[in-house]
Amino acid sequence: MMKPVMRIEDTGANPCDGQPVIDWPKAIWNGGLLAIAVVGGPLVFTWSAFGLFVVLTYLTLLIGHSVGMHRMLIHRAFQCGKPMERFLIYVGTIVGVAGPMGIIKVHDMRDWAQRQTRCHDFFAHRRGLLRDLSWQLFYRFRFDRPPMLTIEPRIASDPFYRFLEATWRWQQVPLAVFLFLIGGWPWVVWGVAVRVIVSTAGHWTITYFCHNPGAGRWTVKGAYVQASDLPGLGLLTYGECWHNDHHAFPESARIGLEPGQIDPGWVVIRGLERAGLVWNVGRPRDPGLREDLQERIAL
């Protein structure tokens, strides 16, 4: 297995000690997009703008967020050349959730907290959906004593990734100009504001249900939060809904591991592998050699 992209040293940190506090840049960004989407979306609606929204949302989340940010950047489930890597991470940045360093920190901090014996509801998603969604869209968690985070130099010192991290919100501007030239304000509102807020809120909604009790084959011993699968949502969620499998085998580029578990992200990665554009594609480790896994049920 490759080394993780970020190292977390708890230094006495406790994922229960602290509280959610409003994150003003995040709140203004997501709140502003939400207001534009709710007010402006219906006012400028056209079917072409809606079609653009559907296609662009699906492709950016599939290629950039699921394949690029999640499976490649965070979990290093496959390797590729630098141009392909940067393309995938750029598309992931266009999704509008965070920049490359930000997405690593959000994911790995949550994963670290969930794998402790107990963590705050902010990380465990144990409150109601609306409360949890408001936390994830408008708040950050302020630790009483935060853990120390270190992102590997290959990522942290890369000038392109540093540029994306510093300007990730502004990366919507070139896209907005391009869409305006083709389809006017309807394409801008639906292709940027509606797409970004739906992508962000949709991401956290799926995250919420995937980290509450539900279907799944595996239990990760000692972890406070056990992930769940969401049957029937494989196509809609790019395969990310098979989250119980993912928590059990985070090194695997394929998340839908059981028969019938549709995984579009894996389809993309497998196609790139066959074309010789990616390699060292991760597969699940032998569960028989894993002391931290316990099988819940026989499928």
pLDDT at 178: 97
Q: From CA 95, how far away is CA 296, in angstroms rounded?
A: 35
DSSP 96-143: SS--HHHHHHHHHHHHHHHTSS---HHHHT-S-HHHHHHHHHHEEEEE
SS3 percent helix, strand, coil of the chain, rounded to 5, is: 55, 10, 35
Q: What is the largest CA-CA distance in the chain?
A: 58
pLDDT at 33: 98
Spans of the chain below 50 pLDDT: 1, 298-299
- pLDDT cut 90: percent of the chain above it: 86
Q: What is the pLDDT of residues 34-82, one digit of tens each?
A: 999 999 999 999 999 999 999 999 999 999 999 999 999 999 999 999 9
Domain ranges of the chain: 6-282
pLDDT at 1: 46
Q: From CA 221, how far away is CA 294, in angstroms rounded?
A: 7
pLDDT at 297: 59
Task: Report the Cα 168 to chain-centroid distance in Å.
Answer: 15
pLDDT at 4: 57
pLDDT at 7: 72
Assess contact for 92 and 68: CB atoms under 8 A: yes
pTM of the model: 0.93
Q: From CA 128, how far away is CA 65, in angstroms rounded?
A: 25
Assess contact for 96 and 62: CB atoms under 8 A: no
Assess contact for 75 and 254: CB atoms under 8 A: no
Which positions ≥6 away from 19 have C-beta within 8 Å? 120, 141, 142
Assess contact for 279 and 270: CB atoms under 8 A: no
The residues facing 31 across adjacent strands are none
